[in-house]
Amino acid sequence: MKMKKTLSLPGIGTFTVTRNIRSKGIKISVHHKRGVSVTIPLFCSYSDASMFVQQKRDWIENALHKQTEKAKRFETPLENGSIIHLINGSIILVQLEPPTTNPNKQNPSVTIKRSANGFSVHAQSGLPRELLVKGINRAVRESAKEYIPERVKLLSRSTGLVPEKIYLKNNKTNWGSCSAKGNINLNIHLMRLPSILCDYVILHELAHLRHPNHGKEFHEFVNQLCLGREREFAKALKGYRPVI
């Protein structure tokens, strides 16, 4: 049983408190975009949660600062002429000046067009980053549709590991997953990785069709599929994030 309530403290702002029957103590989690959330056991009051958050204020501010700075390191600069390289081409951002006539009817939409080397994303200058990212993600997805399923088929033939279905996702926290039904989910942003790391993620998920956990046998099998380079690839993958 879970019960949620939103509270606020000066200097911290709003945060979510969730009562959880399984909790044995107060737990704080922070995220630079989702904010602060607190989980408390049933015997704790919301006042207890507020006091605990106040006591941990310095830690919360420090954690949020570190996360924000880390996110900036992986953030792709988006400006006129920015190029996002993909395995099978590239995406170029073209920012247009807003129309000088009838400014009240400006259309803030973002459009994608085919280009000789992939896609171009066209948007008015000054648009929020979120809108630009949505447009770019559309182009990334189109590229992924053309590349990833065929790559999975090729690697499936070479390994004998065939998924039931392949789904392309735009997850922000993982590169792929495998379901109990034998389906594999692959992140569209695999397209922004070096091709060898894209293959590594695909092989990792295909390996789950035989070993549904992350035990010793699973890693030995993945290492075999990667010709002894699993650790190298896993370490290299940590240098990338599935977000723009």
Query: What was the pLDDT predicted at 95?
Result: 86
Count of C-beta atoms within a 10 Å radius of residue 15: 20
Same domain, yes or no, for 153 and 112? no
Query: What was the pLDDT predicted at 214?
Result: 95
What confidence tier does 3 reach under pLDDT thresholds 50, 70, 90? confident
Detail the DSSP E strand segments found in 10-117. 13-20, 27-31, 35-40, 83-86, 89-96, 111-115
Region 152-156: mean pLDDT is 98
Region 125-139: mean pLDDT is 93
Answer yes or no: is 173 within a domain: yes
Q: What percent of the chain has pLDDT over 70?
A: 93
Same domain, yes or no, for 49 and 116? no
For 212, the domain range is 147-237
Instruction: Please state, rounded to an integer, the average pLDDT across all residues of the chain.
Output: 91
Query: What was the pLDDT predicted at 100?
Result: 47
- The helix-helix angle for 46-55 and 57-74 (nearest 10°) equals 70
Count of C-beta atoms within a 10 Å radius of residue 109: 11
Q: Render pLDDT for 182-203 as a digit per residue (tens, 0 to 9).
A: 999 999 999 999 999 999 999 9
Task: Give the domain-ending residue among 74, 97, 124.
Answer: 74
What are the two backbone dihedrals, phi and then psi, of residue 178, each rounded to the nearest 5 degrees?
A: -130, 130
Contact 222, 230 (CB under 8 A): yes
Answer yes or no: is 64 within a domain: yes
Same domain, yes or no, for 133 and 179? no
Q: Render pLDDT for 89-128 as a digit per residue (tens, 0 to 9).
A: 999 999 876 654 444 445 568 999 999 899 999 998 889 9
Contact 210, 42 (CB under 8 A): no
Number of structural domains in the chain = 3
Task: Please state, in angstroms and rounded to a whole number, the distance separating the CA atoms of residues 57 and 43.
Answer: 23
What confidence tier does 75 reach under pLDDT thresholds 50, 70, 90? confident
Q: Which helix (H) or strand (E) holds 4?
A: strand 2-9
Query: What was the pLDDT predicted at 77?
Result: 82
Answer yes or no: is 6 within a domain: yes
Q: What percent of the chain has pLDDT over 90?
A: 70
Answer yes or no: is 225 within a domain: yes
Inform me whether the pLDDT recorded for 29 exceeds 50.
Answer: yes
Same domain, yes or no, for 205 and 132? no
Answer yes or no: is 243 within a domain: no
Same domain, yes or no, for 49 and 124? no
Q: Render pLDDT for 216-238 as a digit per residue (tens, 0 to 9).
A: 999 999 999 999 999 999 999 99
Inform me whether the pLDDT recorded for 167 exceeds 60.
Answer: yes
Q: Which helix (H) or strand (E) holds 5?
A: strand 2-9
What confidence tier does 8 reach under pLDDT thresholds 50, 70, 90? confident
CATH number, residue 165: 3.30.2010.10
Query: What was the pLDDT predicted at 98?
Result: 66
Answer yes or no: is 242 within a domain: no
